[in-house]
Structure 1
């Protein structure tokens, strides 16, 4: 079908080799002639291109994905439509999406042999996915299809999540089942609500991420089966084994994080990606986590598939057992007098019961009010609630949030700061447990507060001391990472030459920024092969002085080398480190031009040449 596509789209994008194919589209390597960069081009399948519904869904995918700009999300650069002429003369429109080309491999390829990956690598991959989900969820976009095939590891080790917005594009509503009743997503990574065809939310992505983490740690998904229906049923009904029961080196804390992410009820999972990431990193470092013990889930209630019961129907009484057999008696028909007598008996019984209830109520009131026994009236204690709904404190200050939580009988605790593009710094972002969750009276509710926007710009700290750079980076919402040293003539000792990422680059708040510090020394440049004049200039530009040894002479017949010089070496050698202003000794040679001798061939003698006897005229007898 790709043969029907043109070589050039929009007079700009070259279509090259096929690099991927999915249920709705195929992806080809491409080249942007205008910006001179390699790209990826997604084209709607030709057999779907004539369907206006799929065209709309495909365009919606482009809009959803283009709204996301994050280092861990594959970027969308452009989208459009191309009109193609069919062999019969008719035309049709084929939509396309121009995306960032990511060079690397998918996590599916990483797991291709069924072997687990090391725990630090698994945590790093899932942390990258959670970073992307935290950003997309704040933008109101649920991925719906987190799986190893949609996670890329670049050649530099960075994590990239692909196909954002596809699940939203495949459907016309927020539900998980399409008009053809096909579940959106891959069976091994479906959340229970997706398997039941219910509306999904951000916690559905966290369930799928839990499945991904489980497979990275153990080498296989939490549930497998002979069919998608069998796997979906397990997602709804069965609790997975703890990962440590498969791989003994997995800590119990990571077990807890995985099983909390895989909770059947959405309210039992992590409230957002940031909380799951915090717990996962804490578990890797051996710190305490908020997830409950793994034994909690063994007795946790599970839900059922919609085909089996109605989740909202009242419980039905069990069918009573049939009465024991009795011996047949003569059938006696009741008379009108019998009916009247039975009716009067029932009425009398009800009147008696009502009178007794009134008497009991009056007696209880009299005792409690002190009418009998001379007791002082005491207030009746209100019943203690079994659970309290966690109040919504989003957007409140710390003082307001604390007052709201304590006013309902819960204990307030301040949590770590989190990035937010929508909530001002210092205001409440989320709670743990989540808003509306039932909590036991006196239990602790942790409130996370906004640190500000999720993406920040790396400040320029070049020329600053290490402490000054640290203060500037922390003020910008970033952390100082590793520090390395490099020779520099322009920057003083122990001051910053540059940062990684570089200044003015936009990165996620809380990211680590590495510092490159100056040693205050200079690296001897490689000047071998240069002319003496060029070498002297290079050393001066590097902040060094020089001393020149007497030259050696080399003969040459090459006219281009006439009156030229060439550096043959230095002391110290190239790459050595010297203090600024240090001296380098130059060894060089001068070329002595000597033209090559000219050799000519002897000329042929002319006839009659007196110098050549052989050229004299021949003599002979003449006849008379």
Structure 2
């Protein structure tokens, strides 16, 4: 989009284009207030007047903004203040969504590069997707478009579901088709009920997740066709085949889980995402999968066996096939061309008359017996083992250690996950699955969701901000301003933040008190008396003070040393204040004035006295008497 503004919502800088889809463009952006990267999704300008796409785009913002889960791409903000000018001069508002930036690739990109994933890697990714779906379904939101292109895999291995563009609340899930009766969703991953335009619910997402897992395992979706309509027909009427038909190394329990997820009837498949995820976890940990999944596999194997009496299934050259894949095939022996017939035609006719109908009866009984043995073998193989069921105790609200001890004592395995909660004390159980007072198999796993307290937030870098700005930013993040300590710092103006505790970029709980150290705008005057003029000027300049210099002649200090200053050392003054220093100057030499007077001789010299000359100038009386 060429007409992208530099700033959206007064805070989001729009950067390079990351990707383009059928409905929107996604740009890399920066939240200038919080200093973090974001992804900015903007509706294409040519769709800005289309009420259908506008509705879908706004619904995505509302749906995703209501979801707060580690496996769902977070929506931070949305708006419509970007104005696009059309070629005719008309202006139209373009809506945008500000989302979490995930440093990674979509599953579609991963599949394009690698073809398919290893079975346990595919299981792990799908478990995370199902975890996100379980959460969104509990919030009443059906995604309706689960596919590899809508799942991000971060560089750190995290998995996140995105693009709730066609998601709807379950109360409005009947809106499966548009006003023009076009089916919403992607054909390869449509549930049968979506393909038929029926009401969708959470189980529709689980079917789509099953299709996605099938492609992760095999490199292809479960159904292919020349057109979306042809594929939709297969979703409705064609039974799914085990993924081990197309790829090696897939365990038979994983076959069973996929076949159960892809049941045509929504009542016949997984009823919630937690059940689907539990079976995948059982496959990953080598535990038995649910009876329902094994039954789906047995039904497919039985159908394949019945068809196999007359028709051989196509092979792929895989050396390892599961029981659901294999079906007995009756070989048709053909005589070699160079063999002579053992009986002439007359002899064969005579032999057939001699056998009569008894031979056909025996043959029929043999076939029935073979089918019976096959059925008995399948039932014996897939029949669930006898298990003991016990009542699940109620541990909701209990501390995690106490809940684990209670369940272990009852004979259950315990699997705990941590989730943020604003209402349940940290370390206590938020929910359990299976629920309390229901029955479950002895030795089965009870999954606990344990409160980790409210979601952590990152302390922003507040250094250099004013106290008011820092307080506003802490309020925006749900943090509390703690104590404010003032210190003299020559480089910091009054009420400007120097540091915080906890320090910047620390992860803390919402409501955490953040203590600040701010400048007073003042500085302590260093004592420079006794320093040389150059040293004193450098010291005062480092303290961000101005220097005013005066000179005084003195013999009591070396020339060029500071003999006095004002203000005195250790006084506190405003940053930038002037300090007067007095510098010693060498005294000038002292000049003594001498007056020379003429000497006047005596009128009556005494013959007995010898005349003398004074080292000083003569007296004036002597000159006057001669």
TM-score, structure 2 length as denominator? 0.50
Could you state the TM-score of these two structures normalised by the residue count of structure 1?
0.50
Larger Cα-atom Rg: 2
